[in-house]
A and B are shown apart, each in its own frame.
Chain A
Amino acid sequence: MRSTGGATQRSPHSLGRRSVLAGIGAGAAAVLAGCARGDSTAVQPGTTSLANDNATWDQGYVAAGRELKKLTGYALRPLSNPNPTSYRQVTQISLQTTKATDMIKWASGYFLKSLARTGELSDLSSIWDAYERKGWVTSPARDAMSYRGSVYGIPLYESYYVLFYNKAVFRKHGLRAPGTWEELLHNAEVLKKAGVVPFVATQTGNWPAYEWFQELVSKVDPAFYTKLISGKASYTDEQAKQALQIWQDFMRKGWMTAADFDQNNGPAALKSGRVGMFLHGSWQSQGIAATGMKPGVDFDAFVMPPVDSSTPRSVITESGVLAVPRKAVSHEAAMANAANWLNPKVQKVWTDFLQDSSANPLSRPGNPVIAGLKDRALREHWTLLPRYGESGPPNLIQGNTDDLGSFMTGASSPDATLRSMAGRATKEWAAWERDES
């Protein structure tokens, strides 16, 4: 306290305070300037930045980027934001600035359409047409990538919804991958009797609640599923009721995991034989392999057979999307990379990393499980159906997924659930159409 005594001593003290304040001010200004400059998206020669929401894929992007560089002269520089909700918000905002990333990872279907209608994405139609001429994309995939006739996204990968199973567990109980609905039920019964929970089903994390819905509705009637997701059929129709009754029956028989099962524990539960079959996207193959199980040797996968054997076979697919913001910092480079992403050389490296399937039908996945399924789907002309999560206005999907979560805990009956979903569908489709006009 003495230092505050005399005038001579006070002056260095106040100088100290001033310099501290000045220092803080300068620091804050530097930080703000740093933020404003947006260093991370600035031009870096020979690369294109790629914003995405999954940091565990960074290595894959870098490896695929090396292949791209040979073709276009530009590598990929992944910028990850590991929280999907925050990623969505940040990306939507940054697209309006002059510092937009060169490429973004996005969801297909209505998520892409919502973003495309803001006018902030580049039209990739000519790139798509070139791909189609080379046979590197299939034309049915176009719809989920386009808005008002123009293409705004290039498929990042193409996953199938499959049921993974532990081969040793199946062998032990004398089971094989079911070819018919009856065989699937038989497998479930045998596993249940042996103390294994037959199916993974959960609403933890919200979105997994629609996995069984899309699967069962499409296996009851794939044509009805197509109509339902385009707003041309009602959730209260007979096929949807049948699907939810099957689901409820499975739950009552104790064939499904508790509704708060953590899917992250799915691979470990499959390995230890606590669960029999794990319904999930084929990208999960990477996670199961990470437990030390070898694809094709220790675990395998099958696509759920249709409920009625006369119903055509179908598989639910999911594609992430690469899009190019209109204000991309290195726009030309980003367009070049988008035009070469589906090149089989790039896809080989990428799918080997991902252990999943490419959207390019000519690119064969390195993972034997997925390669086998893809071959069969192409050979037998299975109907490829888009995933429920991207197949409607985002608000509709969000609300209906909540309803399904409620159904999974027994809080609402099949009829009440479907009525609520139907009511929301009417409202949200009308809102979407109104916004379109």
Chain B
Amino acid sequence: MSSSVDQRRPSLPGPHTPPGTDPAGSEPVRRFPRRVRDKVAGAGFLAPAVLLVGALLLVPFATTVYRSFFDDRRVSGFAGFDNYTLFLNDPVLTRSIQNTLMWVVGTVVLPLVLGLAIAVLTDGARWSRAARMVVVLPYALSGSAVAVVWNFILNTDGAANQALKAFGLDSFARGWLLEWPGNTLVMILANTWQSAGVAVILFLVGLQTIPRETIEAASLDGAAGWRQFWYVVLPQLRTVSVIVVGTSLVNGLKSFDLIWVLTQGGPGRQSETLAVSMYQETFLALHPGAGAAVAVVLTAIVLIASWLYLRRQLTPKGD
């Protein structure tokens, strides 16, 4: 690397010494000092990304915010905050918020605890590679594929109930996807089955970056087992935990695919999360204004939650 950089240096055209170029060519260079040129060049490189994000993300977002202030009649008129008051008086949206909260708690706590436990237990063990593979594999599957598999299990005629009946536990057999809040809880479990894998990987990486000396020092001081983990290992996994919680938080808030394939938010719109409600209102109930309001609220919640959390947890030093 260094040699190539060294070789390059002389050949780089300096701002004031362009050997062999005519004086007219150097005129613009004088008028635009290097700092300005760098800025222009930087802007040039950024432009495609900024344009893409602007056109594909910011403009649609602005349109959505705008649309949310108009009603859903055939000739749409200005409605102020009417679409937002649905959150107060529409029982479906109230239930949707309850479910979203359950999803957030479930998708943050379960992958964090399970991911950490599996990572710590398999780290260094002889069979750890195989164990890790098994845990991580579901993460490679798409949400819809996972949902189809879980549908075979959770359906009333599915594997879970058949297994219960085979063991004589008929009274425990039920319509897992039919009753609230049970259906939301089992879907959170299905989601955890898939997403715990990535938490395991992150924690394993975290564990491997912990300096051996700290563990050895703790052992010499007489700390072992649980105490060593709690006072020495865990504090050093803080950055990784921040990332795991942060991504889980966002994933929980935007959960859609699993729910859509398993229950379509039903029965009777009882298992919807905000992301599903947004789709239902916009495309099935043909209420684009209400759907836009749900989208705006969901975006605001995701942004505020992520910002508050990351601002508190990630200092500029990165620790």
Which of A's residues lie within 8 Å of B, judged by CB? 1-2, 4-7, 10, 85, 89, 117, 203, 205-206, 209, 258-262, 394-395, 398-399, 402-403, 405-412, 431, 434-435
Which of B's residues lie within 8 Å of A, judged by CB? 1, 4, 7-8, 11, 73-75, 155-157, 175, 177-180, 264, 266-270, 283-287
Are the C-beta atoms of A435 and B73 separated by less than 8 Å? yes
Interface residue SS majority, chain B: loop
Q: Nearest Cβ in chain A — how far from B87, in angstroms?
A: 17
Instruction: Choose one: A2, A5, A395, A434; the contact of B285 (CB below 8 Å).
Output: A395
Are the C-beta atoms of A258 and B157 separated by less than 8 Å? yes
Q: Nearest Cβ in chain B — how far from A272, in angstroms?
A: 13
Are the C-beta atoms of B284 and A85 separated by less than 8 Å? yes
Q: Nearest Cβ in chain B — how far from A93, in angstroms?
A: 12
Residues of A within 8 A of B283 (CB): 85, 89
Are the C-beta atoms of A409 and B73 separated by less than 8 Å? no
Are the C-beta atoms of A6 and B7 separated by less than 8 Å? yes
Q: Nearest Cβ in chain A — how far from B29, in angstroms?
A: 18
Residues of B within 8 A of A209 (CB): 267
Q: A258-B175, A260-B175 are in contact. Are A406 and B156 (CB under 8 A)?
A: no
Instruction: Choose one: B1, B4, B179; the contact of A411 (CB below 8 Å).
Output: B179
Q: Name the CB-closest residue of A to B91.
A: A420
Are the C-beta atoms of B284 and A411 separated by less than 8 Å? no
Complex A-B: 21 CB contacts under 8 Å: A1-B4, A2-B4, A5-B7, A10-B11, A203-B266, A258-B156, A259-B175, A260-B155, A260-B175, A395-B285, A398-B285, A402-B268, A402-B269, A406-B266, A406-B267, A406-B269, A406-B270, A407-B268, A408-B267, A410-B179, A435-B75
Q: Nearest Cβ in chain A — how far from B268, in angstroms?
A: 3
Are the C-beta atoms of A402 and B266 separated by less than 8 Å? yes
Given contacts A4-B4, A395-B287, 4 further A-B contacts (CB under 8 A): A205-B264, A395-B286, A398-B284, A435-B75
Are the C-beta atoms of A394 and B286 separated by less than 8 Å? yes
Q: A206-B264, A435-B73 are in contact. Are A409 and B287 (CB under 8 A)?
A: no
A399 to B266, CA, bound (A): 12
Interface residue SS majority, chain A: helix
A359 to B305, CA, bound (A): 57
Residues of A within 8 A of B1 (CB): 1
Q: Name the CB-closest residue of A to B283.
A: A85
Are the C-beta atoms of B285 and A409 separated by less than 8 Å? no
Instruction: Choose one: B73, B156, B180, B284; the contact of A260 (CB below 8 Å).
Output: B156
Instruction: Choose one: B4, B75, B268, B286; the contact of A409 (CB below 8 Å).
Output: B268
Residues of B within 8 A of A10 (CB): 11
Instruction: Choose one: A394, A399, A409, A431; the contact of B179 (CB below 8 Å).
Output: A409
Are the C-beta atoms of B266 and A405 separated by less than 8 Å? yes
Residues of A within 8 A of B73 (CB): 431, 434-435
Q: Nearest Cβ in chain A — how far from B75, in angstroms?
A: 8
Are the C-beta atoms of A261 and B285 separated by less than 8 Å? no
Pairs of residues from A and B, 9 with the lowest C-beta to C-beta distance, nearest first: A406-B268, A258-B156, A435-B74, A405-B267, A409-B178, A5-B7, A409-B267, A1-B4, A7-B11
Q: Nearest Cβ in chain B — how far from A4, in angstroms?
A: 6
A318 to B260, CA, bound (A): 27
Q: Name the CB-closest residue of A to B266.
A: A405
Are the C-beta atoms of B266 and A261 separated by less than 8 Å? no
Are the C-beta atoms of B268 and A411 separated by less than 8 Å? yes
Q: Name the CB-closest residue of B to A404.
A: B268
Residues of A within 8 A of B178 (CB): 258-260, 409
A412 to B178, CA, bound (A): 12
